Amino acid sequence: MTRPVDADKDRSMELQKEMIAGMFDDLSTAHEDGKKVVYTFVPGNLTELIRCFDLLPVLPEINALQSGMRKLSGGYITEAEKQGHSEDVCTYVKCDLGMLKKGNVGPTGKRLPEPDLLLLSYTGCFTFMKWFELLKQEYDCPVAMLHVPYSPDGKIHDHQRDYIVKQIRTELIPKLEEVSGKKYDEDRLKKMLAKSATAEDDLVHVLESAKNRPSPIDAYFGGVYYIGPMFTAFRGSDEGLEYYRLLREEVDARVAAGLGPVTPDGTMTKERYRLVVEGPPNWTSFREFWKMFYEEDAVVVASSYTKVGGLYDRGFRHDPDRPLESMADYCLGCYTNLGLPSRVELLEEYIRDYRADGFMINSVKSCNSFSAGQLLILRQIEERTGIPGGFIESDLVDPRYFSAANIKNRIESYLQMLEQKRGAGVGA
């Protein structure tokens, strides 16, 4: 079992928490400060464009997952179900709607502002559209939709890019100008995109550090902290630049010292299993869930969830020389916008590139964007790599669907199977 040698948090983790807390503080006084806000989503979010008009983004999924980590989501979900929403509806949606019905007090205890614009950049999740239909019923504000074509072959075609750029120019930018009272400034947007590209370079460097043995990071549980600023409100900002610069320095120092990942109980001192994980994590029991892995000396070296807001490690960068075109490419390339063959190919590459011993799926009950087709993914990964897969089930932010004993038993049984195959010289 891993023995923690320290329990100190890296400065980057503290900075990340400060940034997210500051974001909620700014939102709580936005309207009093004369600022306007845009409700939008993580996959395909157009943060740089929103901030180019001095608008503040609000991301409902972030509100929900933060509420889950703070043990608030269960009550919000119950409230939404009292309003008639089914048990099978995405629990992010129910958490958000329940929070709204209880006064729209955010996860940090401060009230969130009502939206001045609902901006949906659709990227593969049909639930997003239904979610915004429900929010439109609650708020008297304009709506803008950026329709992103599905990418079944994992390739970006010119006609898809042109279709999105046209929407940005003729529908979205005029709407943002109307809401903000400001004219579109492409030079300002280009400067933001240049900062994004630099931060994206640093993020990819951090994620790919997991190719080392031992891996200095956990790319699933630790990874959610690393992607936080990039996937929320800080892409294209000086704060985002500083965060990823600092994070990269810390990770490089860990590689040089031969250290494993930092966990809530300290640094992992033994790396016995290297895993690739598909699917989102559970947020209501996040620390307990993570502990089930690191107590077994298992580290996640790559995950699909950390690509839900962009496939930066496959070469994409925001490009200041092609501002709207690169934003279109970003939307098209998000993980949730890919078909199953592309997802299988990506996960297979991760297993080989990161020299993983195993592959696990966390199938989330209420998230169709991830869970649909996961058993097929599992079987195809097994056939292509010769590595047996593991399968566990939980939910995003509904505490009723996290069975700690069941999940722990499945993880332990799976790792025992990997150990037996390793002893027999079978598999990776």
Reported as a single tens digit per residue, the pLDDT across 360-376 is 999 998 888 888 899 99
Residue 77 structure tokens: 């979900």
Q: How far apart are the first and last CA of the chain?
A: 22
Least confident of 86-100, 114-128, 264-278, 320-334: 114-128
- 403 with 257, same domain: the answer is yes
Residue 4 has pLDDT above 50, yes or no: no
- 112 with 130, same domain: the answer is yes
- 336 with 406, same domain: the answer is yes
Residue finishing a domain among 182, 206, 241 = 182
Distances (CA, A) of 254 to 53, 203, 212, 248, 298: 39, 15, 11, 10, 18
Mean pLDDT, rounded, for 135-159? 92
- 370 with 386, same domain: the answer is yes
pTM, entire model: 0.94
Residue 254 has pLDDT above 50, yes or no: yes
pLDDT of residue 126: 81
10 confidence band (pLDDT: 50, 70, 90)? confident
Q: What are the backbone angles phi and psi of residue 118, rounded to the nearest 5°?
A: -100, 115
**Predicted confidence (pLDDT) per residue in 279-319, tens digit:** 999 999 999 999 999 999 999 999 999 999 889 999 999 99
**Predicted confidence (pLDDT) per residue in 196-240, tens digit:** 999 999 999 999 999 999 999 999 999 999 999 999 899 999 999
Asked if 100 and 64 touch (Cβ cutoff 8 Å), the reply is no
Residue 428 has pLDDT above 50, yes or no: no
- 308 with 168, same domain: the answer is no
- Cβ-proximal residues to 426 (8 Å cutoff; 6+ apart), any chain: none
Residue finishing a domain among 121, 155, 182 = 182
pLDDT of residue 426: 54
152 confidence band (pLDDT: 50, 70, 90)? confident
Residue 5 has pLDDT above 90, yes or no: no
pLDDT of residue 29: 96
- 18 with 75, same domain: the answer is yes
Asked if the structure places residue 1 within a domain, the reply is no
- 331 with 247, same domain: the answer is yes
DSSP 322: S
Distances (CA, A) of 226 to 240, 246, 249: 11, 11, 13
Residue 347 structure tokens: 């996960």
Residue 2 has pLDDT above 60, yes or no: no
Distances (CA, A) of 115 to 8, 104, 106: 38, 11, 14
- 97 with 209, same domain: the answer is no
Which CATH number does the domain housing residue 27 bear?
Answer: 3.40.50.11890
Mean pLDDT, rounded, for 115-126? 89
DSSP line for 249-285: HHHHHHHHHT---EETTEE-----EEEEEESPPPSTT
How many CB atoms are closer than 10 A to CB 321?
9
Residue 289 structure tokens: 């869930």
Asked if the structure places residue 35 within a domain, the reply is yes
Tally the domains of the chain. 2
Asked if the structure places residue 46 within a domain, the reply is yes
Name residue 146's beta-bridge partners. Answer: 121
- Cβ-proximal residues to 393 (8 Å cutoff; 6+ apart), any chain: 362, 363, 364, 365, 401, 407
Which CATH number does the domain housing residue 278 bear?
Answer: 3.40.50.11900
- 194 with 176, same domain: the answer is no
Residue finishing a domain among 138, 154, 182 = 182
Residue identified by tokens 């891993």 is 2
The chain-wide mean pLDDT, for the chain, equals: 93
Angular region, 279: left φ>0, alpha ψ -120 to 50, beta rest = left
In terms of residue numbers, what domain contains 22? 11-182
Establish whether the linkage from the previous residue to 214 is cis, with ω within 30° of 0: yes
Asked if the structure places residue 405 within a domain, the reply is yes
Residue 425 has pLDDT above 90, yes or no: no
Residue 173 has pLDDT above 70, yes or no: yes
Residue identified by tokens 């279109």 is 328
- Cβ-proximal residues to 423 (8 Å cutoff; 6+ apart), any chain: none
Asked if the structure places residue 406 within a domain, the reply is yes
- 173 with 195, same domain: the answer is no
- 129 with 202, same domain: the answer is no
10 Å CB burial of residue 332 (0-12, 13-18, 19+) is buried
